A and B are shown apart, each in its own frame.
Chain A
Amino acid sequence: MSKIVEETAKEAFGKVTDEPILEVKNLKTYFPISSGKWFNKETKYLKAVDEVSFYVNQGETLGIVGESGCGKSTTGNSIIRLVEPTAGEVWFKGENIATMKSREFKPFKKNIQMIFQDPFSSLNPRMHVFDIIAEPLRTNKMYQGKDLEQRVYELMDTVGLDPDLANRFPHQFSGGQRQRIGIARAIAVKPELIICDEPVSALDVSIQAQILNLLNRLQRDLGLTYIFIAHGIPAVKYVSDRIAVMYMGEIVEMADKDALFKATLHPYTRKLISAVPSTDPKKRTIGEEQAIADELNQGESDVVGCKFADRCPLARAHCREVRPDLRQLRSGHFVKCHYPLEQEALEENV
């Protein structure tokens, strides 16, 4: 990394250090799918996450974007082992948590918390808000009696909920307030890393902004690190320092936020960004020629070459034969493409 880049990176990220808090190496999560024949011995696999590698630095937000079915949620779930990864390593604070026994994993689990998409189904409808937030504190035996009460009220206050409402049930709250309850529960045990899986997708825009701003404030105040998984590109751009783009179980591009948008290297990233409608009616980008159907081929693919080649406007014969590797073209800018969009960048680094 050149000195100038290093300095600007530090300026931009404030408290962010170059120390990765989490490093994922060649993570694979495969799901067996039945082949339809009864005594067929050969099992086929759905490669939900296929050799994904990335790192997250202390104090930063890594956004993961992609379309439904690209494996972004499975990646998040595999990290905290809600889904057991098939292979690969997940290094968290110097330990490989992917292969640990579950008893060994427990103390680490406390340090990695999760915020889910749907605040309607991720909160127990029969529990008072107080107990929902207190549950992780009780499970981890962190607070008891008066201290516990104190801590729960404090947490509710931190996320902008009136502590007087502690004895209500989740259904008595609006979507945005429920998401705040979910956030209070996640930060209760003082985690270092929070995986936010589509935390605002189910919310109205005005409420989305409230939650995004709350997440930003908590990150600053509590020194949290986020993995922010979402399909809404503007929201990911708003909260993230670095962004990884996933396509069919693979990371196809990963870079600093600005680099990703201003010096896009992968054709899929460009397609994804250009598909987002601009909020300026004078800059309409969607034309009638875009009406042609072009679908993500789902599921078990035995594609030999680049998985995007079939949809890629720039694909050449080579792309269909050889799978590209994720390589670093500029400092911190990774791409998985034989013929990245900015050719000069390629020549510079050969």
Chain B
Amino acid sequence: MNLLEVKNLHTHFHTDRGLVPALNGVSFSIKKGEVLGIVGESGCGKSVTSLSILQLLGNKGKIEKGSIQFKGQELTTFTKKQMRKVRGDEISMIFQEPLTSLNPLIRVGKQIAETILLHRENYSKNQAKEHAIKMMKMVGIPQAEEKYSQYPHQLSGGMRQRIMIAIALACNPDLLIADEPTTALDVTIQEQILGLMKKIAHETGTSIIFITHDLGVVAEMVDRVIVMYSGQVVEENDVVSFFEAPKHPYSQGLINSTPAIDQGQKLEAIRGNVPAPANKPNGCPFHPRCPMASDICKTTVPKNTYFGKQEMVNCWLYDKEAKTS
């Protein structure tokens, strides 16, 4: 059984300037112990997807349609109180910028202990502190006892991200959502954090959703990739096939425009920009930037084409080649 199954998710934001359809029918699933990568450029809906799962959309965002099944439960029907129990306990999240996600006035160790006390009622304060120090050691923080009583500003970016990971893992969640966890870090520190996350996935069997725009991180970390564009999933594949033979022209564009450390090829840029969610083009949202676009792409939204169980592409180019769903 899948740990998480998202089906036909539509999330809209009701802003002062009108309706912004951020997600338009996103479907994917993740198995126990799997690492799933969500890639795409800014404005593609990657982060909104994760915020929808956790229902952290604020008062302007709303899930309009679709279902989110987590361990067989329908999360979209959960009340705020029920969701609060899920967050941080069964599903937790690591954000991009650890300095803004940590409370600057509370000692970092206490922030870890707080999460434990909130979700584990049978823990005493001392037990929670002990557990927090154990977590800090697990994420590789040297002199954990000493660091326990330091404030976030006293720690470096890499250390802060380790604290975030310790908070996220404190209650041993089934699913960890990591939203650009290493984007703000230097490459040598990124290497350490990625190594740490590999270790965690290996030791605890936690499923991870890895949201990133860095294809190097994707190649390094994930088992399966979904590519998002303009609030939709345009391709889904296992990581090796994805890099060897990307199907969607957008995936191909992303790979060709990423400078690689071990190749010296000329970069092929994707022309144009990601459309704003409020004014999407008709037909396939990628067609104005697509080098292969034909007339049908301009008028009609393509259907998903499946190749086996794992592989999916949302593009007219593949429509005749396989059975449409």
Contacts and interface: CB of A to CB of B under 8 A. Distances in A.
B162 A174 contact: no
Interface string B133-169: 0000000111000000000000010110010000000
Interface in B224-261: 239-240, 242-243, 253-261
B269 A207 contact: yes
Contacts of A174: 273
Contacts of A284: 219-220
Contacts of A100: none
Interface residues of A, number: 49
- B interface, how many residues as a size bin? 35 or more
A289 interface: yes
Interface in B253-279: 253-262, 264, 266-271, 273-274
B204 to A, nearest CB: 12
Contacts of A208: 257, 259
B199 interface: yes
Contact of B199 (A68, A207, A234, A288): A288
Contacts, number: 156
B195 A207 contact: no
A286 B213 CA distance: 18
B290 interface: no
Which one of A206, A207, A233, A261 has the greatest number of beta carbons of chain B within 10 Å? Answer: A206
B140 A291 contact: yes
A42 interface: no
A229 to B, nearest CB: 14
B74 interface: no
Contacts of B217: 277
B203 to A, nearest CB: 9
Given A205-B258, A289-B195, A290-B195, A276 B187 contact: yes
Contacts of A207: 41, 269, 273
Given A205-B215, A208-B257, A277 B158 contact: no
Interface of A: 67-68, 174, 176-177, 204-210, 212-213, 231-235, 237-238, 261, 271-296, 298
19 contacts: A174-B273, A204-B42, A204-B213, A207-B269, A209-B257, A209-B267, A209-B268, A212-B267, A238-B267, A277-B220, A279-B215, A279-B261, A280-B243, A281-B240, A281-B242, A287-B198, A288-B198, A295-B158, A295-B159
